[in-house]
Amino acid sequence: MKITLTVNGEAYPLDVEPRRILADVLREDCRLTGTHLGCEHGICGACTVLVDGEAVRSCLMFAVQCDGSSVRTVEGLAGPEGEPHPLQRAFSAEHALQCGFCTPGFLMVAAGALEADPAIGDSPERVDALVGSNICRCTGYEPIRRAILQAAREQTGGERDAGNR
């Protein structure tokens, strides 16, 4: 099927088999390898991307379902001059990654949540639920939680060091 995806602001006219998942099309056809495939069952969240602003597991979505949609991957987080997104800066500052395999998924689920509601940082419980939606085998989740809270504060103009409960 012929489809067009707008990925990170760039149009990708593609000819894809209807059974191909979005994650594979992003990685193989668009050459955007930041989206990782972990469990391929929608459990781990490593493949999370934003489709029309909503966080989705790209391993569970067919690429043809996204025809005409706007897709944002981890490669699309950085600013126009390549400056890191507040989440990327916070993940680095809080040491919220170790092996890095799950990081793109966490960044994208957090970016979607922060864009939908910048005040999410006012609710540690909501951030905990957000962090609990993806799996990380290295960090113990606390640095990820702190990084999301820090990025939320930065985006809303709050203090950067007020990350403790």
Q: What is the mean pLDDT of the chain?
A: 93
Q: What is the pLDDT of residue 159?
A: 54
Q: Give dist(CA 83, CA 89) in Å, integer.
A: 9
Mean pLDDT of 138-143: 90
Q: What is the pLDDT of residue 140?
A: 85
Q: What is the pLDDT of residue 158?
A: 66
25-63 pLDDT, tens digit each: 999 999 999 999 999 999 999 999 999 999 999 999 999
Q: Are 79 and 86 in contact (CB under 8 A)?
A: no
Q: Which residue, 72, 63, 69, is CA-closest to 16? A: 63
Listed in sequence order, the residues at least 6 apart from 8 whose beta carbon sits closer than 8 Å to its beta carbon are: 32, 71, 72, 73, 75, 76
Predicted TM-score (pTM) of this structure:
0.91
Q: What is the pLDDT of residue 161?
A: 44
93-126 pLDDT, tens digit each: 999 998 999 999 999 999 999 999 989 888 889 9
Mean pLDDT of 3-30: 98
Spell out the domains of the chain, with CATH numbers in brackets: 2-75 (3.10.20.30), 86-156 (1.10.150.120)
pLDDT surpasses 90 at 156? no
pLDDT surpasses 60 at 160? no
Q: Give dist(CA 13, CA 100) in Å, integer.
A: 30
Listed in sequence order, the residues at least 6 apart from 92 whose beta carbon sits closer than 8 Å to its beta carbon are: 84
67-82 pLDDT, tens digit each: 999 999 999 999 989 9
What is the rounded (10 degree) CA torsion for 29, 34, 37, 42?
A: -100
Q: Are 135 and 44 in contact (CB under 8 A)?
A: yes
